[in-house]
A and B are shown apart, each in its own frame.
Chain A
Amino acid sequence: MIVRYEPWGAWVKLETEPAIVALDRAGVRALGLDGGRAWQAPPRASAPIELHMAVTARCGAGCEGCYLDVRPDGVEPPREVLLRELDAAAAAGVLTVAFGGGEPTTRDDLDLLADAARARGVAPVVTTSGLGLSDARVERLRRFDQVNVSYDGPGDTYASVRGFDASEAAERAIERLAAAGVRVGVNVVLTRSSFPALEGTIARARALGAVEAQLLRYKPAGRAASLDYLARRLSPGQARALGATLRGLAQTHCADGRFHVRVDCALVAFLSADEALARDPAALARFGVFGCEAAGALAAFTVDGRVAPCSFATASDLPALELAAHGDDPTLARWRAHVEAPPEPCASCSLRAICKGGCKVVSAHLDGAHGPDPECPRVQDARGERAA
Chain B
Amino acid sequence: MKSERTVPPESIRAVRAGHGANCSSIGSVIDTLFATATVGAAVLAAVVAALGREDVRIAGDDAPPAPPPSPAELPPRDEP
Residues from chain B with a CB closer than 8 A to the CB of A158 are none
Q: Contact size class for A?
A: 35 or more
Which one of B12, B33, B60 has the highest number of Cβ atoms from chain A below 10 Å of its Cβ?
B60
Contact pick for A289, options B12, B21, B30, B53, CB 8 Å: B30
Contact pick for B17, options A18, A33, A311, CB 8 Å: A18
Which one of B28, B61, B62, B80 has the highest number of Cβ atoms from chain A below 10 Å of its Cβ?
B28
Contact B61 A260 (CB under 8 A): no
Contact B25 A3 (CB under 8 A): no
Measured in the bound complex, the distance between the Cα atoms of B40 and A287 in whole Å is 9
Contact B15 A112 (CB under 8 A): no
Residue of A nearest to B53 (CB): A16
> What string of 1s and 0s marks CB contacts (under 8 Å) between B42-59 and chain A?
100011001101111111
Measured in the bound complex, the distance between the Cα atoms of B24 and A265 in whole Å is 10
Contact B19 A18 (CB under 8 A): yes
- Chain B contact residue count (CB 8 A cutoff): 58
Shortest A379–chain B CB gap in Å is: 19
> What string of 1s and 0s marks CB contacts (under 8 Å) between B15-47 and chain A?
111111111111111111111000100100011
- Judged by a CB distance under 8 angstroms, whether A320 is at the interface is no
Residues from chain A with a CB closer than 8 A to the CB of B72 are 112
A residues apposed to B, CB below 8 Å:
1-5, 8-9, 12, 14-24, 26-28, 30-33, 36-38, 47, 50, 52-54, 67, 78-80, 83, 87, 90-96, 98-101, 104, 108-109, 112, 115-116, 119-121, 123, 125-127, 136, 144-148, 183, 185, 187, 212, 214, 216-217, 219, 246-247, 249-251, 253-255, 257, 260-266, 268, 277, 283-290, 293, 297-298, 310-312
Interface residue SS majority, chain A: mixed
Residue of A nearest to B55 (CB): A1
Residues from chain B with a CB closer than 8 A to the CB of A104 are 23
Measured in the bound complex, the distance between the Cα atoms of B16 and A260 in whole Å is 12
* A-B pairs, 9 with minimum CB distance: A93-B60, A100-B23, A27-B11, A288-B16, A36-B62, A125-B21, A250-B31, A254-B31, A146-B21
Measured in the bound complex, the distance between the Cα atoms of B27 and A265 in whole Å is 6
Measured in the bound complex, the distance between the Cα atoms of B30 and A128 in whole Å is 23
Contact B24 A24 (CB under 8 A): no
Which one of B15, B16, B35, B51 has the highest number of Cβ atoms from chain A below 10 Å of its Cβ?
B16
Contact A80 B75 (CB under 8 A): yes
Measured in the bound complex, the distance between the Cα atoms of B48 and A14 in whole Å is 10
Measured in the bound complex, the distance between the Cα atoms of B23 and A78 in whole Å is 20
Contact A20:B30 (CB < 8 A) given known A91-B63, A121-B57: no
Contact A263:B30 (CB < 8 A) given known A30-B6, A90-B59: yes
Contact B31 A249 (CB under 8 A): yes
Contact A14 B5 (CB under 8 A): no
Query: Can you sample 10 A-B contacts with CB below 8 Å?
Result: A3-B56, A22-B15, A27-B7, A83-B73, A148-B21, A255-B35, A257-B35, A287-B28, A310-B25, A312-B25
Contact B59 A3 (CB under 8 A): yes
Contact A24:B13 (CB < 8 A) given known A12-B51, A30-B8, A287-B29: yes
Residue of A nearest to B3 (CB): A32
Contact B26 A264 (CB under 8 A): yes
Residues from chain B with a CB closer than 8 A to the CB of A183 are 19
Contact A214:B51 (CB < 8 A) given known A18-B17, A18-B19: no
Which one of B6, B7, B25 has the highest number of Cβ atoms from chain A below 10 Å of its Cβ?
B25
Measured in the bound complex, the distance between the Cα atoms of B27 and A187 in whole Å is 10
Contact B59 A121 (CB under 8 A): yes
Shortest B49–chain A CB gap in Å is: 8
Contact B21 A147 (CB under 8 A): yes
Contacts A9-B11, A119-B73 known; 20 new A-B pairs at CB < 8 A: A4-B60, A8-B13, A19-B50, A27-B8, A37-B62, A126-B23, A136-B80, A145-B21, A146-B21, A214-B20, A250-B33, A253-B31, A254-B31, A257-B39, A261-B29, A261-B31, A265-B27, A285-B14, A293-B26, A311-B24
Contact pick for B18, options A36, A121, A212, CB 8 Å: A212
Contact A115 B73 (CB under 8 A): yes
